[in-house]
Amino acid sequence: MSELLGIYPTWYVPQIGTAWVMGIIGTIHVLASNTSVGAAVLFALLESRSVRENKPEIMQYIKKYGMFLLVFSYIWGSVTGPGIWYSTTVASPRGISALIHNFVWAWATEWVFFTVEVIGVYALVYTIGKIDPKTHLKITWTFVVSSVATLVLIIGILSFMMWPGSDRWYLTGSVFDAFYNLNFAAQLADRGFLMLTSAAVVGSIIVAAIPKGDPLRRDVGQTVARLGLTGL
């Protein structure tokens, strides 16, 4: 019996079970993280237009959105992220151990990109109007690349949890055969479209706060709407 139970204690949540706890925390985290990646793409599109057409007023919209992002995605997201690790570790310690060992370098790479992403979003928001526009645009695109890279790496790992690797993985045990599994492309497309839609929803709320008659409302609103339609 002890061999079946292992050396880890059993964690059970009455009424709802451990899976629901992980699901609730994960849903909040995914919404926050997906909105962040979609917002990064939106920021790059808007700021490129701001620099190209000399419309500095667009940057004020980006700053308002960015302040919301810091609270929603990088505070709530940072709280629920460790929450996922804690809940999954106590719910399925052997499973998480196997996941970490199989993808140790993928996790390490993801954490590097995530560090760049967090530094990038703070630099993006707090240097608006304080540095050269072209230099600031480079910061924004760095934020985009690191955000998308983080998302892609996470999708490869999480999709493996739903379908453990391609057929070759059972023979090779290779991290690449595990990463590029049968669910990878579908999840990449699904979450890619979701991130654009969720970012557009939040962006539309911020656009609605711009006074009617302000040209900025129309300019930014059109870009946000196109992004949302692309996600749909």
Residue 192, domain extent: 17-231
pLDDT tens-digit map of 35-49: 999 999 999 999 999
Instruction: Identify whether 187 is part of a domain.
Output: yes
* Listed residue (141, 85, 84) closest to 117, CA to CA: 141
Identify which has the larger pLDDT, 17 or 132. 132
CA angle 61, 197, 181 (to 5 degrees): 130
Give CA 94 to chain center in angstroms. 26
Instruction: Identify whether 10 is part of a domain.
Output: no
Choice among 10-19, 135-144, 146-155 with the minimum mean pLDDT: 10-19
Instruction: Identify whether 150 is part of a domain.
Output: yes
- Is the pLDDT at 6 greater than 90? The verdict is no
Instruction: Identify whether 140 is part of a domain.
Output: yes
Instruction: Identify whether 2 is part of a domain.
Output: no
pLDDT tens-digit map of 119-131: 999 999 999 999 9
Contact between 153 and 110 (Cβ < 8 Å): yes
Instruction: Identify whether 4 is part of a domain.
Output: no
Identify which has the larger pLDDT, 134 or 88. 134
Instruction: Identify whether 131 is part of a domain.
Output: yes
pLDDT band at residue 7 under the 50/70/90 scheme: low
Identify which has the larger pLDDT, 175 or 1. 175
- Is the pLDDT at 189 greater than 90? The verdict is yes
- Over residues 207-223, mean pLDDT: 91
Choice among 86-100, 145-159, 193-207 with the minimum mean pLDDT: 86-100
Identify which has the larger pLDDT, 162 or 28. 28
Count of the separate structural domains present in the chain = 1
Maximum average pLDDT range among 5-9, 96-100, 122-126, 214-218: 122-126
Arithmetic mean of pLDDT over the chain: 90
pLDDT tens-digit map of 47-60: 999 999 999 999 99
Q: What is the dihedral of CA 185, 78, 147, 18, to 10 degrees?
A: 0
Instruction: Identify whether 108 is part of a domain.
Output: yes
Name residue 84's amino acid: I
pLDDT given at position 1: 47
